Structure 1
């Protein structure tokens, strides 16, 4: 299996090579040269597998340069009941990502797939725990070190830090928007005292943090000298690890391969729903992929109109679903690459236009950049938007009707999912996090605190260690250099 860049100007590479690197040298994102296909016979066999065994079957199609015995050991080390211990329905613990039926209406089912049972109570743990083990394995093979430079809007950072803390040969430099995360999210990251973890609060929004990560990644000399890697979803391994739970969700919700399901995904940076796109391209019978945005509705606008219009920092709202407060979805480029028939030159031109003009237009209207929006339906994408009032109403509704408490991002997903139900087709909403991570809004909605798993009772009271910095690339590079000793 070889990997190519979405911008078409980088040489094909192996899985292990791109694992540690992040962006391709031409500034693009890596994708398989072709998507491996899954047969109906394979799906029949996979229905009976445990989560780690399913993960092995999916991943061995992509990580073909890792010996299968080693890959098998890595996934079984990662996906254990001890690591994913916060399952709220004990009888389902062995499934890692259990489904819960929420409601049935007009011949369709609405289900919730629990993805937040890991150590940081967010879906990012599903991929990040694997990534940590893959990094450690690969670095040991190469007798190498890695300095991870990433950005977070709330959940990626803590998931990465908990996955990498104490890992040999790895340091983590994580950017986050200063005072833009929930109190729980902030404490979860900043309270870590491990010497290989560095938290940097940037005076700006998440997009500013993400731009700094890309700028450093595109400085190839600095990247090589300082051994810079990334755990953001620009890293292919992050995305492919998320493909696994789409297969698990489908196989748990159906009894035969003749059935289809839809997935609604709370979407900001497009990484999670991009994994669904990949699963669909592999042959998983997905009817629709529903992108649910908050007030930062760049993706919803595109899937309604064909216009991709990035907002400036000052136009990016700070909302009560802060992990989706993103106006420049870095993973979106992977989907556009497929939408444009894998034309790397056109992708490169369009995303250069994003940098210079703030977006592009594929609506086909006079003066637009193309007419590929007409092909959106064949990829199954639709979208919707949720506001603060919507998420409060949804949290209250599910709690009153079903004694079910959900977080703010998942509430955005449920609200939009209800707008796209299709008779006879199960809709699965991907859970984003446990409600305890956004207790301020839970208290506003329900007048009570969210329950907390053991060990998180007073996390906000712990001492915090972090640096506040401006959006200065050179100062950021100097900080990294000063703390790596390279």
Structure 2
């Protein structure tokens, strides 16, 4: 398997997995995707179902990843999966599913060390980085941006990894107190937290600006943990496969067999639902991909109208991990949508978007078939919707969900009549990460795991900086 840039125009320019693992962003500014998606068969899914029941999540992770990774020996890749997805890290089973009312299921993705779905990819990424850096005798400086959960998941996955230093940017005051505490309480000289004046999009722009300086990137061995890194996306493909297998197995056992499912995914940066798109392209029996946004509804607007219109800034909401107005993974989907025409994608993202502030595909034949061909529908949720949904799910099912998952449940409910069969909601985080919203909705604090008691009272390790790419470069240089 080789990988190409979404903006690439040269034939036979593919790179192996481990090269793009360390690169993150392609030199032309595009994002890496495999030259083709592997194809799943019914027999493969039957075999994986049996394997999941006998050997668990790591075994299925190896099977899925081996379709995309051919430059790591099988024995090593299997060991990487077993370390990343140990039940000591995620509990047993890894990614359980929970039935809710109205044939909706919750894929429990937040049982990892930072109580967020990002752990599912970051723990694997940490293992990949350590393995490949040791194999090459190199070091890596990770530069990332977070709107909430990516930062802590990355830092917990990378701390103590030989040869790895992390610089993580976050928007000042825009994360929940719990999210801030998770990141800023880490006291490790190789973990550097930088709170940026502005919003998440400013942080993301800084990462792209510094990564775009090829000489600086090479000199400091810069790599990415944001979902611009393909390894993050392919790791997430695994839990779509596992969630499908778990739900259909449970339904078979109850006599309510289902051959296809739909997924409802809360998203701001298009990374999580991009993985669902890849799984569907591979042939995982997914009927509909329900894209749920909050008030920052750039993606919902595109899937309804065909116009991708970047906002001047992201609105601050009670589902802050989705407070994003520039969806960096969206380019991957556009590449597929436009028949993998790298020149056309490059023109859209390097000329049309900067000049006009939007990409308009509304009148194209590709957009006309977006629901039928790719299965996408979308919707938006508000703060009032989140509160009402959290109350409703607790009342009907005795389950407390976080505000981002509530966005997905709400949108799935809005579209329920047009979608047959089970809908799986991909959980974003444990409710404890957003206590203020839970208290507002339910009148009581959410359950807090013992590992997180008192975390907000720990000393903070963070430096506040303006949104200045040159200053960021100096900080990276001075830390060496």
Q: TM-score, normalised by structure 1?
A: 0.94
* Among 447, 451, 455, the residue aligned to 1:455: 451
Distance, in Å, in 1 between the alignment partners of 2:172 and 2:451 is 25
2:296, 2:324 within 8 Å by CA — same for their partners in 1? yes
Conservation of the 8 A alpha-carbon contact between 1:305 and 1:363: yes
Give the Cα separation in 1 of the matches to 2:354 and 2:16: 29
- Paired positions, count: 465
Q: After TM superposition, which residue ranges in structure 1, 4 or more long, deviate above 6 angstroms? A: none
How do residues 200-215 of structure 1 correspond to structure 2 at under 5 angstroms?
200-215=194-209
Structure 1 CA distance, aligned partners of 2:370 and 2:211?
A: 31
- Could you say which residue in structure 2 is the equivalent of 1:165? 159
Once the two structures are superposed, what CA deviation does each residue of 1:250-282 show, in whole Å capped at 9, x if it has no partner? 111114797110000001000000000000000
2:426 is the alignment partner of 1:417: no
Aligned pairs (5 A) from 1:4-43: 4-9=4-9, 11-43=13-45
Spell out the pairing of 1:74-473 with structure 2 (5 A cutoff). 74-85=80-91, 93-94=92-93, 96-104=94-102, 109-255=103-249, 259-313=259-313, 316-352=314-350, 353-364=352-363, 370-377=364-371, 378-421=373-416, 422=418, 424-473=420-469
Per-residue deviation at 1:420?
Answer: 2.0
* Rounded Cα–Cα distance in structure 2 between residues aligned with 1:451 and 1:258: 33
Does 2:471 correspond to 1:478?
Answer: no
Q: What is the SS of the residue equivalent to 2:368?
A: helix
State the 1:69 CA deviation: 0.4
8 Å contact from structure 2 (residues 318, 403) kept in 1:
yes
Q: Specify which structure has the higher proportion of helix.
A: 2
Could you tell me how far 1:327 is from its partner in structure 2? 0.4
Q: How much does 1:354 deviate?
A: 1.5
For residue 173 of structure 1, give the secondary structure of its aligned residue in structure 2.
strand
Q: Is the 8 A contact 2:258 2:421 kept in 1?
A: no
The answer to whether the 8 A contact 1:339-1:375 is kept is no
Q: CA deviation at 1:423?
A: 5.9
Secondary structure, counterpart of 1:335 in structure 2 = helix
Cα displacement (A) at 1:194: 1.1
Alignment correspondent of 1:89: none
Match of 1:88 in 2: none
Call closer, same or farther: CA 1:67–1:397 in 2, change over 3 Å.
same
Question: What is the aligned-residue RMSD (CA, Å)?
Answer: 1.1
Task: Give the TM-score, by structure 2 length.
Answer: 0.95
1:72 aligns with 2:78: yes
Whole-angstrom distance in 1 between the partners of 2:454 and 2:317: 24
Q: Compute the displacement of 1:436 (Å).
A: 0.1
Displacement after TM superposition at 1:401 (Å): 1.9
User: Partners of 1:258 and 1:38 in 2: how far apart?
Assistant: 18
**Distance across 1 between alignment mates of 2:21 and 2:27:** 14
Deviates more, 1:2-11 or 1:17-26: 2-11
Task: Tell me the distance in 2 between the aligned counterparts of 1:258 and 1:475.
Answer: 55
3-state SS of paired residue (2:90)? coil
Q: Give secondary structure in 2 for the equivalent of 1:373.
A: helix
Residue 122 of structure 1 aligns to a residue whose secondary structure is coil
In 2, Cα distance between the equivalents of 1:361 and 1:190? 40
User: Does the 8 A contact of 1:116 with 1:123 survive in 2?
Assistant: yes
Is the partner of 1:445 in helix, strand or coil? helix
